[in-house]
Amino acid sequence: MAQTVNHCAVLGKPIAHSLSPVLHNAAYHALGLDDWEYGRHEVGETDLGDFLNGLDPTWHGLSLTMPLKKTIQPYGTPKDAWAERLNVANTAVFNWADAENNGGRPAISLYNTDVPGILYAFGHACDVDSGPSLEERDLAHAVVIGNGNTAASAVSAAAVMIAGTSSSSRGTITVAARHPGKNPDLTRIIAGDDTIDLCETTLDDIAETLRDADIVISTIPGHAADAIAQQIAADDMFRPKGILLDVVYDPRPSALIRAWRERGAMAMGGEEMLLYQAILQVRLMTGSQGEAALDGRDWMTVLEQPMREALEEAL
C-alpha cells in the first residue's frame, strides 16, 4: 500500500526564489517525518481561492508570501495577536475535522510568524555577540525603512522590543519611506499604546535618522537600500550604535549591511528572520505529529542547527 504523503507548501507570485522548501524539508528530515513534503506553487491574488478549493485532507498548511499575506484573510480566522492586529498572515494551518459540514473545505487558522521571527533574529544576534543580551539593552528608538506589509510586522516587533527593554517611559519608532503615510495600518498598529510615538519621514538624509537608532529594520527589496548605503559611506562621521536587520537575503550581504558593518556596528540579513519564522511555521503545521517526533525535546534545539545548515548551503 502506498504511503500517504502529508503536504505543505509556500504560495506567492513570483515564487521560484523562495527558500522555504529548503528550510521546511530540512526540518522534516531532522524530525524523521519522512512522509511529509513541502513544495512551492506560484499563486497570485486571483488564483488563491481556486488553489484552496483544490486541496484535500493530506494538506496541513501553507506559507504565504507576497502578494498573499492580506489576500488570505477572508479565507481563515486569525489565531494569534499579530495576524489579528496587522491583518497580515504568512501562515495558514488546516483543520479538516468538520470539512464534511463545511462544503468539503477545512477550517483555516491564520498566524503571523514574521513578528516573532524578527524578535528571535535580534535575540540570536545579541546572544552570539560579546555584548549584552537583547533584554539587557536599553532600546528606545527604532527605525523601520519602508512602509509595506513587512513594515507592519517590523513596527510590531520593534514596539515589543522597546517595551521590553527601554528604561524610559516612552519610545519612538520612525518609519522612513519614499511615500510617508501610504500605509495607514502602521498608525493603527500602535493606536492605544501610550508608550510608543510613531513618526513618519522620507528617505532623504536618512543617515541622520539612523545615526542614533537602537534598532533598524529595512523592509525594502533587493537593491532599493543601496542609496542609503551610499549615504552612510559618504559620511565619515557616521557611527551607528544600533543593530540592523535587512530583511533581504539576495544579494548577501546587501550593500546596506556591508556599509553598516564597515562602520563597526552589528548587522544581519533576512536569512535570520526567515529561519526563525520557518521554525515556528513547522511547529504550527506539523502539529501533534511534530510534537510526537520531538519526543519531549525542544523545538529550537532540534531544528535550528539543521535548518540553518540547509539554508547556508542553499545560499
Do 260 and 135 lie in one domain? The reply is yes
Q: How far apart are CA 300 and CA 175, in angstroms?
A: 32
Mean pLDDT of the chain: 93
Q: Is the dihedral of CA 123, 66, 217, 164 positive or negative?
A: negative
SS3 287: helix
pLDDT at residue 267 is higher than 80:
yes
In a domain, 1, yes or no: no
pLDDT at residue 277 is higher than 80:
yes
Q: Domain range holding 17?
A: 6-113+272-314
* Beta strands across the sheet bearing 59-64: 36-42, 6-12, 59-64, 91-95, 107-111, 77-78
The pLDDT-based confidence of 190 (bands split at 50, 70, 90) is: confident
Taking residues 182-204, what's their average pLDDT?
A: 88
Q: How far apart are CA 148 and CA 152, in angstroms?
A: 7
Taking residues 1-24, what's their average pLDDT?
A: 91
The pLDDT-based confidence of 49 (bands split at 50, 70, 90) is: very high
Return phi, psi of residue 178, to 5°.
Answer: -65, -35
For residue 167, the model assigns a pLDDT of: 65
For residue 42, the model assigns a pLDDT of: 97
Do 260 and 276 lie in one domain? The reply is no
Of 210, 256, 205, which is closest to residue 229 (Cα–Cα)?
A: 256
Do 170 and 289 lie in one domain? The reply is no
Length of the chain: 315
For 209-224, the pLDDT digits (tens) are 999 999 999 999 888 9
Do 144 and 243 lie in one domain? The reply is yes
For 140-183, the pLDDT digits (tens) are 999 999 998 889 999 999 999 998 775 666 899 999 999 999 99
Least confident stretch, 47-51, 100-104, 279-283: 100-104
Do 250 and 289 lie in one domain? The reply is no
For residue 99, the model assigns a pLDDT of: 86
The pLDDT-based confidence of 194 (bands split at 50, 70, 90) is: confident
Taking residues 284-307, what's their average pLDDT?
A: 96
The pTM is what? 0.94
The pLDDT-based confidence of 2 (bands split at 50, 70, 90) is: low
Do 245 and 146 lie in one domain? The reply is yes
Of 225, 223, 257, which is closest to residue 243 (Cα–Cα)?
A: 257
Q: What contacts 284, CB < 8 A, 6 or more positions away?
A: 61, 91, 93, 111, 113
Sequence-separated contacts (24+) of 29-34 with Cβ below 8 Å: 29/306, 30/302, 30/303, 30/306, 30/307, 31/282, 31/286, 31/290, 31/293, 31/294, 31/302, 31/303, 32/293, 33/6, 33/286, 33/289, 33/290, 33/293
Sequence-ordered alpha helix ranges (H) in the chain: 20-31, 48-53, 68-71, 81-86, 114-128, 149-165, 185-189, 206-211, 226-234, 255-262, 270-294, 299-314
Do 231 and 287 lie in one domain? The reply is no
Q: How many domains does the chain have?
A: 2
Would you state the cell numbers that stand for residue 94, as one nine-digit string?
Answer: 488546516
Do 106 and 148 lie in one domain? The reply is no
CA angle 6, 7, 8 (to 5 degrees): 135
Do 279 and 206 lie in one domain? The reply is no
For residue 164, the model assigns a pLDDT of: 74
Taking residues 187-193, what's their average pLDDT?
A: 83
For 79-138, the pLDDT digits (tens) are 999 999 899 999 999 999 988 888 888 999 999 999 999 999 999 999 987 778 888 888
Q: Is the dihedral of CA 29, 129, 216, 238 positive or negative?
A: negative
The pLDDT-based confidence of 261 (bands split at 50, 70, 90) is: very high
Residue 39: CATH number of its domain: 3.40.50.10860
